[in-house]
Chain A
Amino acid sequence: MSETIEMTVNGRRERVAAEPRTPLLTVLRNDLGLHGPKFGCGLGQCGACTVHMDGTAIRSCATPVSSARGTRITTIEGLASGGTLHAVQQAFIDEQAAQCGYCINGWIMTAAALLQANPSASEEDIRKGLSGLKCRCGTHMSILRAVRRAQSRLSAAHKA
Chain B
Amino acid sequence: MEDFVVTHRGVTRRDFLKAGGAMVVTFALPGCATTSPAGAAPLPVAGTAWPAKLDAASLDTWLAIAADGSVTASVGKIEAGMGIGTAFAQIVAEELDVPVDRVTIVMGDTATTPDQRGTGSSNGIMTGGAALRRAGAEGRAALLLLASKKLEVPVERLRVQDGRVFVADDPSKRVSYGELVGGKRFDVKVTEKPKTKDPREYRVVGQPVQRFDIPSKVRGEYRYAADLVVPGMLHGRVIRPPEAGARLVRVNESQRLPGLVKIVRRDDFLGVVCEREEQAVDAARRLEVEWTKPAPMYWPSYDALFEHLRTAAPKVTQADKENRGDVDAAFASAVRRVEARYEYPFQSHASMGPACAVVDVRDGGAIVWSGGQKPYPLRHALADLLKLPAEKVRVVWMPGAGSYGMNDADDCAADCALLAQAAGRPVRLQYMRHDATGWDPKGPPVAFTLRAALDAGGAVSGWDCEARGFSGDVRPSGTDVAGDTLAGQLTGLQAKSKEAPQFPEEGYGFPAKRKVSHLLPWLHSLGTPLRTAHLRDPDGMSTCFASESFVDEVAYASGADPVEFRLRHLIEAGEIAVVQAAAEKAGWQRHTAPRAPEGRIVRGQGLAYAPRHGSLVAVVADVEADRATGRFRVTRFTVAHDCGFVINPLNLRGTIEANLMQAMSRAKHEAVRFDATRVLSVDWITYPIVDTTEVPDTVEIVMLNNTPKAKPHGAGEPTTRPVAAAIANALHDALGVRVRRVPFTPEAVLAAIRA
| Interface of A toward B, CB cutoff 8 Å | 18-19, 22-23, 26, 29-30, 33-43, 45-46, 48, 75-77, 79-80, 85, 89-90, 92-93, 96-105, 108, 126-128, 130-144
A100 — which chain B residues lie within 8 A by C-beta? 80-81, 352, 399-402
With A89-B218, A101-B213, A127-B693 as contacts: A142 and B657 at CB distance below 8 Å: yes
A43 to B432, CA, bound (A): 10
Is there an interface contact between A99 and B695, defined as CB atoms closer than 8 Å?
A: no
A19 x B220 contact (CB < 8 A): no
A interface footprint on B201-244 (CB within 8 Å = 1, 0 otherwise): 00000000011011101111111101101000000000000000
Minimum CB distance partner of A88 in chain B: B218
Q: Min CB distance, A105 to chain B, in Å?
A: 6
- Contacts A46-B684, A136-B351 given; indicate if A41 touches B217 (C-beta within 8 A): no
Interface centre among A26, A40, A92, A98 (most CB of B within 10 A): A98
Would B654 and A99 count as touching, CB distance under 8 A? Answer: yes
- Please tell me if B493 contacts chain A, counting CB pairs below 8 Å: no
B135 to chain A, nearest CB (A): 27
Q: Which of B92-100, B477-485, B658-666 contacts A (4 or more CB under 8 A)?
A: B658-666
Residues of A within 8 A of B402 (CB): 99-100, 102, 136-137
Give every chain A residue within 8 A of B221 (Cβ-Cβ). Answer: 36, 77
Q: Is the CB of B220 within 8 A of A35?
A: yes
Can you name 29 A-B residue pairings with CB atoms under 8 Å?
A: A26-B277, A26-B278, A35-B220, A35-B223, A36-B221, A37-B220, A40-B354, A42-B432, A45-B433, A93-B215, A93-B218, A97-B214, A98-B218, A99-B82, A100-B80, A100-B352, A100-B399, A101-B81, A101-B213, A101-B217, A102-B400, A103-B401, A130-B692, A134-B689, A135-B352, A137-B81, A138-B657, A139-B654, A144-B692
Contacts A96-B214, A127-B695 given: A45-B80 contact, CB under 8 Å? no
Distance between A83 CB and nearest chain B CB, rounded to angstroms: 11
Q: A34-B220, A103-B352, A133-B691 are in contact. List 4 more A-B contacts (CB 8 A).
A: A76-B220, A80-B219, A99-B81, A141-B657
Query: Residue of B at shortest CB range from A108?
Result: B218
Residue of A nearest to B86 (CB): A96
Q: Which of A37, A77, A108, A135 has the most CB of B within 10 A?
A: A135
Residue from the list A37, A46, A85, A99 in contact with B219, Cβ < 8 A: A85
B residues 403-439 with Cβ under 8 Å of A? 404, 430, 432-433
**For B351, what are the chain A residues with a Cβ–Cβ distance below 8 Å?**
102, 136
| Interface contact A102-B401, CB-CB below 8 Å | yes
Write out, one digit per residue, whether chain B residues 489-523 have a CB within 8 A of any chain A CB (1) or not (0): 00000000000000000000000000000000000
**Contact of B699 with A by CB under 8 A:** yes
B210 touches A40 (CB 8 A): no
Complex-state Cα separation, A137 to B656, whole angstroms: 11
Query: Interface on chain B toward A: helix, strand, loop, or mixed SS?
Result: loop
- In the complex, the answer to whether A104 meets B218 with C-beta atoms within 8 Å is yes
- Measured between alpha carbons, how far is A75 from B220 in the docked complex, in Å? 9
Q: Which of B218, B278, B661 contacts A22 (CB 8 A)?
A: B278
| Smallest CB gap from B233: residue in A | A30
| A39-B354, A93-B210, A102-B401 known; A138 vs B218 contact (CB < 8 Å) | no
- Residue B683 lies at the interface, judged by CB distance under 8 Å to chain A: yes
A108 to B220, CA, bound (A): 10
With both beta carbons as reference points, the residue of chain B lying nearest to A48 in the complex is identified as B352
B684 near A134 (CB under 8 angstroms)?
Answer: yes
Instruction: State the CA gap A102–B82 with chains docked (Å).
Output: 12
Shortest CB–CB separation between residue A42 and chain B, in angstroms?
A: 6
In the complex where A105-B220, A127-B692 touch, is A38 in contact with B226 (Cβ < 8 A)? yes
Distance to closest chain B CB from A63 (angstroms): 13
Whether the Cβ atoms of B214 and A98 lie closer than 8 Å is: yes
**Measured between C-beta atoms, what is the minimum distance from B224 to chain A in Å?**
7
Whether A139 contacts B658 by the Cβ 8 Å rule is yes
Kindly state the separation between the CA atoms of A94 and B465 in the bound complex, as whole angstroms. Answer: 46
Among A19, A101, A102, A105, the residue within 8 A (CB) of B214 is A101
Which residues of chain A have C-beta atoms less than 8 A from B399's C-beta? 100-101
Residues 666-690 of B at the A interface (beta carbon under 8 Å): 683-685, 689-690
CB distance A138 to B665 under 8 Å? yes
A138 near B693: Cβ-Cβ < 8 Å? no
Residues of B within 8 A of A104 (CB): 217-218
Contact A140 B661 (CB under 8 A): yes
Does residue B353 face the partner (Cβ distance < 8 Å to A)?
yes
- Return chain A residues, CB-CB under 8 Å to B82: 99
Judge whether A96 and B684 touch: CB under 8 Å: no
Q: Find chain B residues with CB under 8 A from A99 CB.
A: 81-83, 402, 654-655, 658
- Contact A30 B276, CB 8 Å, known A102-B353, A103-B352: yes
B218 close to A92 (CB less than 8 A)? yes
6 nearest interchain CB pairs? A36-B220, A138-B661, A100-B81, A76-B220, A100-B402, A101-B217
Q: Are B650 and A136 in contact (CB under 8 A)?
A: no
Return chain B residues, CB-CB under 8 Å to A141.
Answer: 657-658, 660-661, 695-696, 699
State A85–B229 Cα separation when bound (angstroms): 26
Q: Give every chain A residue within 8 A of B699 (Cβ-Cβ).
A: 141
B144 CB-CB contact with A under 8 Å? no
Whether A46 contacts B223 by the Cβ 8 Å rule is: no
Bound-complex Cα distance A42 to B353 (A): 10
Tell me whether A136 and B662 are in contact in the complex, defined as CB-CB below 8 angstroms, given that A26-B277, A101-B213 are known contacts.
Answer: yes
Closest A residue to B433 by beta carbon equals A41
- With both chains docked as a complex, state the minimum distance between the C-beta of B222 and any C-beta of chain A, in angstroms: 6
Alpha-carbon separation in the docked complex, A33 to B223 (Å): 12
Q: Which of B80, B404, B695 has the most CB of A within 10 A?
A: B695
| B368 contacts the other chain (CB 8 A) | no
Q: Which residues of B contact A33 (CB under 8 A)?
A: 229
For the complex, give the distance between the alpha carbons of A133 and B693 in Å: 11
B133 to chain A minimum Cβ distance, whole angstroms, is 24
CA distance A137 to B214 in the complex (A): 15
Task: Name A34's closest neighbour in chain B (CB-CB).
Answer: B220
**Alpha-carbon gap, A29 to B353, bound state (A):** 15
Cβ of A145 to closest chain B Cβ, rounded Å? 10
Contacts of A89 in B (CB 8 A): 218-219
Q: Which residue of A lies closest to B217 (CB)?
A: A101
- Given A77-B221, A96-B211, A101-B217: A23 and B353 interface contact (C-beta under 8 Å): no
Give A158 Cβ to nearest chain B Cβ, in Å.
Answer: 22
In the docked arrangement, what's the CA distance between A70 and B576, Å? 65
Q: In whole angstroms, what is the CA distance A102 to B400 when docked?
A: 8
Q: Which of chain B's residues has its CB closest to A36's CB?
A: B220
- The yes or no answer to B546 lying at the interface (CB within 8 A) is no
B residues near A102, Cβ cutoff 8 Å: 224, 351-353, 400-402
User: Does B541 reach chain A (CB closer than 8 Å)?
Assistant: no
B350 within 8 A of A: yes
Closest to B235 in A: A30
B213 contact set on A, CB distance < 8 A: 98, 101
A131 and B482 CA atoms in complex are apart in Å by 41
In the complex, what residues of B have CB within 8 A of residue A126's CB?
Answer: 692
Q: Which of B300-340 contact A (CB under 8 A)?
A: none
Residue ID in chain B nearest A76 by CB atoms: B220
Q: How far is the CB of A152 from chain B (nearest CB, A)?
A: 18
Q: How far is the CA of A89 from the CA of B224 in the complex (A)?
A: 19
Q: How far is the CA of A14 from the CA of B615 in the complex (A)?
A: 54
Distance (whole angstroms) from the CB of B651 to the closest CB of chain A: 8
Question: What distance in Å separates the Cβ of A86 from its nearest Cβ neighbour in chain B?
Answer: 9
Nearest opposing residue in chain A for B432, CB measure: A42
Question: Which residue among A34, A80, A128, A138 has the maximum number of chain B CB atoms within 10 Å of its CB?
Answer: A138
Residue of A nearest to B437 (CB): A41
Counting chain B CB atoms within 10 Å of each CB, the highest count among A23, A99, A126, A128 belongs to A99
Chain A CB count within 10 A is highest, among B227, B350, B651, for B227
Partner of A76, one of B219, B663, B690: B219
